[in-house]
Chain A
Amino acid sequence: MKKRDREELLPLLEKMWIIRAFEEKVSELYAKKEILGLIHLGIGQEAVAVGICSLLHQDDYVFSGHRAHGHAIAKGADLGRLMAELAGRSTGYCRGKGGSMHIVAMDAGFVAATGIVGGTIPLALGAALVCKEKKKRQLAVVFFGDGAGQTGAFHESLNIASLWKLPVIFVCENNGYAEFTPLSAHTVVSRLADHARTYSMPNVTVDGNDLLAVLDAAREAVQRARSGEGATFIECLTYRLRGHYEGDPGKYRELSEVAEWKAKDPIARFSEMLKQKRMASEKQIREAEIEARARVEKAVDFALSSPWPEADEVTKQVFA
């Protein structure tokens, strides 16, 4: 492990806590029917979002899938506008027309989420092509789950990315389940990074709940992209501590398995590491959580006091 400063690492804990606090609050609001629709939470997967996005600049392009809140937050999306969008209010990023699965926070460089598994993977190729041509060392990142690894879009995109040497990072959050069934019911390939090998693309599989491991992999991939060396595939082994969607009874997972992964919680592990290495005090660690929950409360106040969109919103922005 490289020598790292407290200044560099404590903010990453704070960021993970913001995502955790946000997602837990969304779950609470969903149960109270203040948020409706289809919600997919990333509780337990925070280290992947933070590890990757902490190395990106505002003008790097990030794409995600249906479980996108954490990625958007890690990339710099405003919590209030994000919460308002989930709550369908006119002050949301998408004026209430996108919702949880279609978050767009262009000001933060979060370009698109999608409700279609694999839907944003080809989009990331295009953004990467633009980055390659502009020669300003920008790159594109696309997050997707293990379920996307069986789609045509996934394989076609790995092919083009390797063929055209595009500055794109494919980040696979392999949480072992594609919707309600284990990965083994979807494919004989247990490590999705192997697919990258088919296309001669540099690839790595890491413990996605170890923020430092994610950071190390990300650092190398970002460097490769910025220096014109092309694409990287990073497979992050992780686990979603809640159901596929809010309301999912989750009967397809053993309680012992959930407990096993709870013990590997990325936030707990990182906090422990910071304490052990004396990079943060017990007090600072507790404050990270308290601060995060306070910020999320403000976001909720903003969102729930915001107006609903007017009826005439439905015909706006169909065409530019």
Chain B
Amino acid sequence: MRELAYYEAKFEALGEIMAADERVHLIGGTFLSLSTRRAIYQELVKKYPGRAVSPPISELSFCGLATGAAMAGLRPIVDLSTGSFIFEAWPQVANEAANALYMSAGQTRVPVVFHIFHGIRGGGAAQHSHSPQAMFWNCPGLEIVLPSSPRDVKGLLKTAVASDNPTIFVDHVQLLEVRGEVPENDKPIPFGQADVKRKGSDVTVIATSLEVQKSLGAAERLAEEGIQVEVVDPRTVVPLDFQTLLASVEKTGRVVIVDQCHRSCGIAAELAARIAEEGFDKLKAPLRRVTTPDVPIPFSPPLEEFVTPSESRIIDAVRAVLR
């Protein structure tokens, strides 16, 4: 099977999506981030003039524009770029897009995709390093997608665009160069389908987005010591495939949840609560979370490293649940 870089798989997905449905519009232009790869994205802009537009720096209005366009029949993918910037558009995402189908009792569909790069990116500091996905989990009506591999980003982006619901597509710039297998003629990946990225029998590590890659790295190192870690990737938290997570909990009895959101009320917090509610009698030890602490993200590189969930912290947590 061929191997692609994450950004290549994502770009391939965008191209196929644009070719397949002329209702798809791209609003904003950093889908491949501000990296050197950005020039590749210009190929799409050239190929589809009028369908790949660059709005002014006014997130509230261009997210509202995308929402309204979706209500009128378009299928826009809006790029907010840095995840923190979605705060500028909060009313349109959380109070208009998320509510529209419900408030209208199904008269209005909002097939819009809000694309962000979340998390700690290297020097972004407090205002450019947010992981807002858990905040959106607290807004009913939004689907939340977190790809972690080249195969997943391609398959999930297709489903995100095909979905009639407003979708938050949560990406991470540090995933862009990750390499992985992507089949030719791949199929879209359904939402609500978790993926066991690595099988193991000793400890379940549940992770999302970039932390899946770090968890796989940690699992490799732990395997050398004879500890078999199972890495489970929900891929979408809304809708959530809790059954697969629970099945792994039942298998190993020991859980570590890794998440780049802040500790309080992050993705890990909600997963932990559900496991405690439904899998308590399967646990052989208290579960552990590896998250970003409840502090604004500092600038200086050693400080930033200190707050970022890392392979070593994951390894420490796995050892802790095994004690």
Binding site for B on A (CB under 8 A): 61, 63, 93-95, 97-98, 102, 104-106, 111-112, 114, 116, 119-127, 129-131, 133, 140, 152-153, 156-157, 159-160, 163-164, 316-320
Q: Which of B56, B71, B164 contacts A123 (CB 8 A)?
A: B71
A126 touches B71 (CB 8 A): yes
Inside 8 A of B91's CB, which chain A residues have their CB?
116, 119, 153
Q: Which of B61, B103, B104, B141 contacts A156 (CB 8 A)?
A: B61
Q: Which of A111, A122, A125 contacts B108 (CB 8 A)?
A: A111
Complex-state Cα separation, A163 to B56, whole angstroms: 9
B108 touches A123 (CB 8 A): no
Inside 8 A of A119's CB, which chain B residues have their CB?
64, 91-92, 95-96
A156 to chain B, nearest CB (A): 3
Inside 8 A of A125's CB, which chain B residues have their CB?
61, 64-65, 68-69
- Determine whether B227 belongs to the interface, using a CB cutoff of 8 Å to chain A: no
CB closest chain-B residue, reference A96 = B105
CB closest chain-A residue, reference B106 = A317
B143 touches A111 (CB 8 A): no
Q: Which of B60, B103, B165 contacts A94 (CB 8 A)?
A: B103
Q: Within B76-125, which residues are at the interface with A (CB < 8 Å)?
A: 76, 91-92, 95-96, 99-109
A126 touches B70 (CB 8 A): yes
Given contacts A106-B107, A156-B61, A318-B140, are A122 and B67 in contact (CB under 8 A)?
yes
CB closest chain-B residue, reference A124 = B68
Q: Which of B56, B95, B141 contacts A318 (CB 8 A)?
A: B141
Inside 8 A of A317's CB, which chain B residues have their CB?
101-102, 105-106
CB closest chain-A residue, reference B107 = A106
Inside 8 A of A131's CB, which chain B residues have their CB?
72
A28 to chain B, nearest CB (A): 26
Inside 8 A of B108's CB, which chain A residues have their CB?
104, 106, 111-112
Inside 8 A of B64's CB, which chain A residues have their CB?
119, 121-123, 125-126, 153, 157
- Determine whether B50 belongs to the interface, using a CB cutoff of 8 Å to chain A: yes
CB closest chain-A residue, reference B70 = A126
Binary contact readout B176-202 vs A (1 if CB under 8 angstroms, 0 otherwise):
000000000000000000000000000
Given contacts A94-B107, A97-B102, are A157 and B61 in contact (CB under 8 A)?
yes
CB closest chain-A residue, reference B88 = A152
Top 6 nearest A-B pairs by Cβ distance? A122-B64, A126-B68, A126-B69, A123-B68, A156-B61, A104-B104
CB closest chain-B residue, reference A138 = B72
Count chain B residues whose beta carbon lies closer than 8 angstroms to a beta carbon of A. Answer: 43
Inside 8 A of A153's CB, which chain B residues have their CB?
60-61, 64, 91
CB closest chain-B residue, reference A151 = B60
B65 to chain A, nearest CB (A): 4
Given contacts A112-B108, A126-B71, are A320 and B61 in contact (CB under 8 A)?
no
Given contacts A93-B107, A111-B72, are A318 and B101 in contact (CB under 8 A)?
yes
Q: Which of B56, B69, B105, B108 has the most CB of A within 10 A?
A: B105
- Determine whether B58 belongs to the interface, using a CB cutoff of 8 Å to chain A: yes
Inside 8 A of B58's CB, which chain A residues have their CB?
152, 156, 159-160
CB closest chain-B residue, reference A102 = B103
A183 to chain B, nearest CB (A): 22
Complex-state Cα separation, A106 to B108, whole angstroms: 7
Complex-state Cα separation, A163 to B65, whole angstroms: 13
Inside 8 A of B70's CB, which chain A residues have their CB?
126
A114 touches B72 (CB 8 A): no
B56 touches A320 (CB 8 A): no
B72 touches A98 (CB 8 A): no
B105 touches A97 (CB 8 A): yes
A116 touches B95 (CB 8 A): yes
- Determine whether B73 belongs to the interface, using a CB cutoff of 8 Å to chain A: yes
- Determine whether B237 belongs to the interface, using a CB cutoff of 8 Å to chain A: no
B92 to chain A, nearest CB (A): 6
Inside 8 A of A120's CB, which chain B residues have their CB?
68, 96
6 contacts between A and B (CB under 8 A): A104-B108, A119-B95, A122-B64, A129-B65, A153-B61, A316-B105
Complex-state Cα separation, A98 to B107, whole angstroms: 11
B308 to chain A, nearest CB (A): 33
- Determine whether B286 belongs to the interface, using a CB cutoff of 8 Å to chain A: no
Q: Which of B71, B95, B96, B141 contacts A319 (CB 8 A)?
A: B141
- Determine whether B31 belongs to the interface, using a CB cutoff of 8 Å to chain A: no
- Determine whether B55 belongs to the interface, using a CB cutoff of 8 Å to chain A: yes
A103 to chain B, nearest CB (A): 9
- Determine whether B66 belongs to the interface, using a CB cutoff of 8 Å to chain A: yes
Complex-state Cα separation, A118 to B55, whole angstroms: 19
Complex-state Cα separation, A126 to B92, whole angstroms: 12
Inside 8 A of A163's CB, which chain B residues have their CB?
56
Given contacts A119-B96, A124-B68, are A318 and B63 in contact (CB under 8 A)?
no
Binary contact readout B133-164 vs A (1 if CB under 8 angstroms, 0 otherwise):
00000001101000000000000000000011
CB closest chain-A residue, reference B163 = A320
Q: Which of A123, A164, A319 contacts B67 (CB 8 A)?
A: A123
B247 to chain A, nearest CB (A): 24
A142 to chain B, nearest CB (A): 9
Q: Which of A121, A124, A133, A159 contacts B50 (CB 8 A)?
A: A133
B96 to chain A, nearest CB (A): 6
A129 touches B107 (CB 8 A): no
- Determine whether B74 belongs to the interface, using a CB cutoff of 8 Å to chain A: yes
**Beyond the given A129-B69, A320-B109, could you list 20 further A-B residue pairs with CB under 8 A, ordered by the A residue number?**
A63-B68, A94-B103, A94-B104, A94-B107, A104-B104, A104-B105, A111-B71, A112-B100, A120-B96, A121-B64, A122-B61, A126-B70, A129-B65, A153-B61, A156-B60, A160-B62, A316-B106, A318-B141, A319-B101, A319-B143
Given contacts A114-B96, A125-B68, A156-B60, are A130 and B73 in contact (CB under 8 A)?
yes
Complex-state Cα separation, A126 to B65, whole angstroms: 4
Given contacts A126-B69, A160-B55, are A97 and B140 in contact (CB under 8 A)?
no
